[in-house]
Structure 1
Amino acid sequence: MASSSSRSSSSSENPNRDHLNEIRSHEIAMSELNSLAPSRNVYQKIGRMFFRKSIKTAVQ
């Protein structure tokens, strides 16, 4: 249990790591969107709601 609490505190102590993780998750999402057929629609979360959009619109 001590190791999990030390991980969460080290993550909050290193904001660069948080930013790198966020950037990486966006890169993965973009890769997933680019692998779909262009005619597909996707759901994009804006605030607390999901909106159905084309892939081209969601990527912008």
Structure 2
Amino acid sequence: MAQEEFDKKMLEIDEITAGVRQYVMYCIINKEDNAESMKELAQKLIESEKNNDMFDPKNWRRIL
């Protein structure tokens, strides 16, 4: 049962992370008022993913 709960929480985290990534790219692509801040955030997120061996360039292809 504990493993099922863990897996469920990990799936939720993955979905939230993907949503944040999509929002960041949306702001950059559509040149929203916060686009410059989102570019900085994207760089930090990408660096963090690389440092944790989670980086997949396909996830960022819209802005890379």
Give the structure-1-normalised TM-score.
Answer: 0.44
Higher CA-based Rg: 1
Whose strand fraction is larger, Structure 1's or Structure 2's?
Answer: 1
Q: Which has the higher contact order (CA 8 A, sep 6+)?
A: 2
